[in-house]
Amino acid sequence: MILTEFQKSIIEGIPDHLPKPRPYDRNISHAPKRKDILNKGEKKLAIKNALRYFGKKHHVILAPEFKKELEEYGRIYMYRFRPDYKIYARSINEFPHKSKQAAAIMLMLSNNLDNAVAQHPHELITYGGNGAVFQNWAQYLLTMKYLAGMTDEQTLVLYSGHPMGLFPSHKDAPRVVVTNGMVIPNYSSPDHWEKFNALGVSQYGQMTAGSFMYIGPQGIVHGTTITLMNAARKIKINGSDNKWLLLVTSGLGGMSGAQPKAANIAGVVSITAEVNPKAAYKRFEQGWVDGITENVDQAIEVALEKQKKQQAHSIAYLGNIVTLWERLVKRNIHVDLGSDQTSLHNPWAGGYYPVGLSFEESNAMMVNNPDEFKRQVQESLCRQASAINKLAEKGMYFFDYGNAFLLESERAGADILKKDGSFKYPSYVQDIMGPMCFDYGFGPFRWVCASSKPEDLNITDNIAIHVLEKLAAVAPMEITQQMKDNIRWIREARQNKLVVGSQARILYADCEGRIKIAAAFNKAIKDGRISAPVILGRDHHDVSGTDSPYRETSNIYDGSQFTADMAIQNVIGDSFRGATWVSIHNGGGVGWGEVINGGFGMVLDGSKDADRRIKMMLHWDVNNGIARRSWARNDGAMFAIRRAMESEPGLKVTIPILADDSLIDKLFE
Ligand SMILES: NC(=O)c1ccc[n+]([C@@H]2O[C@H](COP(=O)([O-])OP(=O)(O)OC[C@H]3O[C@@H](n4cnc5c(N)ncnc54)[C@H](O)[C@@H]3O)[C@@H](O)[C@H]2O)c1
C-alpha cells in the first residue's frame, strides 16, 4: 500500500528531526494570552514537563523556545510541531489504522481541530474559549500515532490530553478512555486550572472538545431551537398575542453562534451582540446570521421593521451587549425574550468583555492588570443586570443560558436575587429543557457519517424520520409535542444547511428513539445502503451525563444537585456496556469546579456486536439519568422510568414514595 504524505506523518508521530518554526498566523482566531500565574520555579517545571516529549538532542533549541511561548502566551503550545497537512474529518479510510474504531476516533478528533470548526485551532481549542482537545501539539501527534497503531485488543489512556499510552484490553472495552481536568476537589478553583494548565498537567476539556464529539454550531442549533420554541410557547401561553417576538442576546462564538440561526428557525426576530469582529464575521459569512452592523440604533431599527413585516430575521450587533441592553432601555423598546451567552464560565480570561473597553484593550488588561480587569467585568455585569431588570419589569422573559450569567452577576454584587435568596430569573433547564425534555429522556443524540459523504448523511436523515414517525404514531400524550418538534427539525435540517465540518446530524430523541434509530443505521450499514460506519454520540447537555447544579441538573430539587454520582456512574456504566470511547470532565459550560460531565462515542459497523452494544449501552446511558431524576421526585421522570420498566423487565428501579408536605410542615409548627 502506498502511503500518502498525511499517512506517513501520522505514523511518524513526533518527528525525530525538528520541523521549521511556524510563523504566528494572524489570519486565524487565537486564544487570548493566558494569565502569568507561575512563579520562577514553576516555570522551570513547565518547561521541563514540555521537554518530556522530545529527544534530548533538541532540548537546547526547544527549552528557550518553550520559555518564550510561556512568556508570550501563558502556555506552551509547541507551535513548531503543528502539522503541515490540513486537519479535518477526512473519510475514515484515509486515516492509517489497524482498528476501524480507532480510525473513527481520529476522524472525530480531527474534526474538533479543523480551522473551519474550531474556535482557536492553533491553540487546540475547539470552543468556549478554553475547551481544549489537547494541551499542546506533541500530545496531538503522539495520540494520532498511537491510534494509528493500536488494535482492538488495546485501550488508549488520555490524561487531560496527554496520551499515557496503550494498555492491553479486549474487543468489548472502550478503545479510548479520556479524563479531563480531574483534580482533588479542594484544588478546583479557576486559578488552579490556570496553574495546572500552564504547568502542562491538566486541561479544561469543556464538553465535546475534550471528548471529540463537537460537530460545530449545528450541535447546539437544535437545542437552542427547541429552547426558543418552548420559551416562545411559554410566554404566549402566559397571555402575549401572536405578534413576532423579539429576542435579545449575546455571543456569536462556538455555541452561542447558533442563536441567530435557531431564532430564525423558531420564527423569532433576534439581535445578538458580539464584541469579537472575527467571531461575528465568521458567523455572517457562514450564513448563520442575516445582517451585521456596528450601529446599535440601526440594529434596533432593522429588528423593529422585521417584527412589523412578520419576518424572521437575525441581526449581529458588533459591540458590547451592555451597550445594546442600555440602549433598549433608553429607547423604551419592548423585548419579549432575553438571554446571554457570553462565556461567563470563564469570566477573567476572555469569556466576558466589559463595556467601555475595546476588544484589544480588554485582551491586554486581562493579562497585564488582572485585578482591574476583574473589577471592570463585575461593574459591567452590574450594569447589564440592571438594564435587564428594567426590561423584565416591563414584561421581558429572561432566562439564564447555562453560561453562569446569574452566578457571576450575583458574585459581582448585581441586583439579581429575590428576597428569598434565589435568582430572579430561571435557568433554561429549570423552566424548559429539564421538565420538558431531560426528565423524559430526550437529549442531544447525534451521529457522524464516517465516509464523510453528504449522501450517507441524507440516507441517515431519512431513516431517522421514518423511525420517529412510526414512534410518534403510538407515543403517549406526555411526549407528543417533543416528538413533533423533532420530526420537524429533522425534516428541515438539510435545507437549513447545518453541516460545518464532519457529516453530522443532531436530533433530540428519547431512549426508545435513540435505540431504534441506531439499530436502523446499523442494519443499513450491514445492507450496504450506508457506505461506511456511523459514529454515535451526544453532547453532555443531556439527561444523564452531566451533574451541573446551575444547568443540566438545576431542576433537581431533592438537594442532590451538588452531587456528581450520576455523571461518574454514567461514564463507568457506558464503558463496560459497549462504548467505543468514554470521557469524563471537570468543567464544561459553567466553569471549572462547577460541573462534572461524561460522554461517549460508539462506532456502528453493521455487525451483531454493534447491535448488542446499542441496546445495552444506550439503554443505560439514558435510563441512569431518568432514574436519578425520578428519585428526585420529578414528575416527568417518574412517568418515564415506569414506562421504561414496563418495556424492559430487566430494569428494576427504586421509585420514591412521596411524603405528604402537610405532615412534614406540622413537625415544624
Ligand atoms: N448554546 C447552548 O445551548 C449553551 C448551553 C449551555 C451553556 N452555554 C454557554 O454559553 C456560553 C457561550 O458558549 P460559546 O461556545 O459560544 O463560547 P464562546 O467563547 O465561543 O463565545 C462567547 C462569545 O461571547 C462574546 N462576548 C464576550 N463578552 C461579550 C460582551 N460583553 N458583549 C458581547 N459579546 C461578548 C465573545 O467574544 C465570544 O465570541 C458558554 O459559557 C457556554 O457554556 C451554551
Q: What is the pLDDT of residues 537-571, one digit of tens each?
A: 999 889 999 999 988 999 999 999 999 999 999 99
Distance 624 CA to ligand 1 centre (A): 29
Confidence class of residue 636 from pLDDT cuts 50, 70 and 90? very high
Going by pLDDT thresholds of 50, 70 and 90, the confidence category of residue 141 is very high
- Asked whether 636 lines ligand 1 (CB < 6 A), one says no
Residue 389 Cα to ligand 1 midpoint, Å, equals 21
- Cell, residue 548: 451541573
181 dihedral zone (left: phi>0; alpha: psi -120 to 50; beta): left
Atom of ligand 1 nearest to the CA of 227: 3
pLDDT digits (tens, 9 = 90+) for 117-129: 999 999 999 998 8
Q: How far is the CA of 182 from the centre of ligand 1 (A)?
A: 24
Q: Does the beta carbon of 444 lie inside 6 Å of ligand 1? A: no
- Ligand 1 pocket mutation pick from 255, 321, 358, 408 by most atoms within 8 angstroms of CB: 255
Q: How far apart are CA 358 and CA 489, in angstroms?
A: 39
Mutate to test the pocket of ligand 1, among 341, 428, 541 (most ligand atoms within 8 A of CB): 341
- Cell 482492538 appears where? 152
251 CA to centre of ligand 1 in angstroms: 5
Instruction: Report the SS3 class of residue 179.
Output: strand
Return the axis-axis angle of helices 137-149 and 5-12, rounded to nearest 10°: 100
Q: Which helix (H) or strand (E) holds 336?
A: none
**Could you tell me the distance, in angstroms and rounded to a whole number, from the CA of residue 352 to the centre of ligand 1?**
8
With CA atoms as reference, report the closest residue to 633 among 571, 523, 548, 558.
Answer: 558
Pocket test residue of 275, 343, 592 for ligand 1, highest count of atoms within 8 A of CB: 343
What confidence score (pLDDT) does residue 222 get? 87
Tell the residue nearest (CA) to atom 21 of ligand 1: 253
Distance CA 266, CA 271 (A): 14
Can you give the pLDDT at residue 238?
Answer: 53
**Is 60 exceeded by the pLDDT of residue 241?**
no
How distant, in Å, are the alpha carbons of 215, 255, 275 from that of 251? 18, 8, 8
Q: Using a 6 Å cutoff on CB, does residue 255 contact ligand 1?
A: yes
Quick: pLDDT tens for 167-222. Answer: 999 999 999 999 999 999 999 999 999 999 999 999 999 989 999 999 987 878 88
**Which atom of ligand 1 is the closest one to the Cα of 223?**
3
- Residue 320 Cβ < 6 Å to ligand 1: yes
Cα angle 165, 169, 172; round to 5: 125
Cα dihedral across residues 432, 433, 434, 437: positive or negative: positive
Ligand 1 centroid to Cα of residue 161, in Å, is 23
275 lines ligand 1 (CB under 6 A): yes
E-assigned strands of 186-313?
A: 246-250, 269-274, 291-293
pTM score, whole prediction: 0.87
- Three-class DSSP category at 383: helix
Which atom of ligand 1 lies at the shortest distance from residue 404's CA? 41
Residues 54, 16 contacting (CB under 8 angstroms):
no
Question: Average pLDDT of 493-518?
Answer: 92
State yes or no: pLDDT of 239 exceeds 70: no
Measured distance CA(573)–CA(579) in Å, rounded: 9
Whether residue 253 has its Cβ less than 6 Å from ligand 1 = yes
Task: Give the distance (Å) from ligand 1 centre to CA of residue 343.
Answer: 4
What is Dmax (Cα atoms) for the chain? 82
Q: How far apart are CA 172 and CA 610, in angstroms?
A: 10
User: Are 558 and 634 contacting, i.e. CB atoms less than 8 angstroms apart?
Assistant: no
Which residues, including other chains, have CB under 8 Å from residue 83's CB and lie 6 or more apart?
A: 9, 137, 141
Q: What is the pLDDT of residues 576-633, one digit of tens each?
A: 999 999 999 998 877 899 999 999 999 999 999 999 999 999 999 999 999 999 999 9
pLDDT class of 431 with cuts at 50, 70, 90: confident
Give 504 Cα–ligand 1 centroid separation in angstroms.
22
From 222, 256, 352, 365, the mutation candidate for ligand 1 (largest count of ligand atoms within 8 A of CB) is: 256
Give dist(CA 48, CA 46) in Å, integer: 5
Separation of CA 637 from chain center: 24
pLDDT band (50, 70, 90) for residue 1: low
How much distance in Å is there from the Cα of 25 to the middle of ligand 1? 24
- In this prediction, residues 252-257 reach a mean pLDDT of 89
List all residues 6 or more positions away from 187 whose beta carbon is below 8 Å from its beta carbon.
Answer: none
User: Mean per-residue pLDDT for 259-273?
Assistant: 93
Q: Cα separation of 83 and 137, whole Å?
A: 8
**Spatial distance between the Cα atoms of 663 and 331, rounded to a whole number of angstroms:** 52
As a whole-number percent, the residues of the chain with pLDDT over 70 amount to 99
- Region 655-662: mean pLDDT is 97
The label of the residue with cell 432514574 reads: 627
Helix axes 321-330, 370-393, angle to 10 degrees: 30
Q: In this model, does residue 371 exceed pLDDT 80?
A: yes
Query: What is the model's pLDDT at position 202?
Result: 98
Please write down the HEC assignment for all residues of 396-455.
Answer: CEECECCCCHHHHHHHCCCCCECCCCCECCCEHHHHHHHHHCHHHCCEEEEEEECCCCHH
Closest CA to 571 of 238, 70, 207: 207
CA distances (Å), origin 365, targets 33, 357, 521, 540: 10, 9, 51, 33
Average confidence score pLDDT of the chain = 95
DSSP 109: H
The alpha carbon of 341 and the centre of ligand 1 are apart by a number of angstroms equal to 4
Residue 423's CB is within 10 A of a number of other CB atoms, namely 18
- Closest ligand 1 atom to residue 206 Cα is 43
Distance in Å from the first CA to the final CA of the chain? 82
> Strand, coil or helix: what is 139?
helix
Of 66, 91, 107, which is closest to residue 537 (Cα–Cα)?
Answer: 107
Instruction: Give the span between the Cα atoms of 73 and 524, in whole angstroms.
Output: 48
Q: Is residue 317 lining ligand 1, measured as CB closer than 6 Å?
A: no
Give the span between the Cα atoms of 601 and 212, in whole angstroms.
Answer: 8
Per DSSP, the three-state class of 161 is coil
What is the number of residues in the chain? Answer: 669
342 lines ligand 1 (CB under 6 A): yes
Overall average pLDDT of the 58-72 stretch: 98
